Amino acid sequence: GDLYVQVQVKQHAIFEREGNNLYCEVPINFTMAALGGEIEVPTLDGRVSLKVPGETQTGKLFRMRGKGVKSVRGGAQGDLLCRVVVETP
């Protein structure tokens, strides 16, 4: 007979997956949003630096090419898209 396998992927605590791309939210303080600077963001391979320009607003997406999920079929690796959330005092 036939064998059917059903795979269910659990939600990750940090990342959401869409295809080979990963999405995450990164909180920054008001000063960083206004003046800019560097923050560390999580990836599947550890933390990396992300430069945040001055005048960044909540909802701004930063794309980190090649930091997403590797395709199981040998295609290109996805991207990590970090959505900034400005924390107000």
pLDDT tens profile 36-68: 999 999 998 899 999 999 999 999 999 999 999
pLDDT tens profile 17-27: 998 999 999 99
CATH code of residue 71: 2.60.260.20
| Phi/psi of residue 31, nearest 5 degrees | -60, -45
In the structure, what pLDDT confidence band is assigned to residue 13 with cuts at 50, 70 and 90?
confident
Q: Is residue 62 in some structural domain?
A: yes
Q: Is residue 1 in some structural domain?
A: no
pTM of the model: 0.80
- Token pair listed for 25: 């939210």
Q: Is residue 20 in some structural domain?
A: yes
Domain count, the chain: 1
Does residue 89 have a pLDDT over 80? no
Q: Is residue 47 in some structural domain?
A: yes
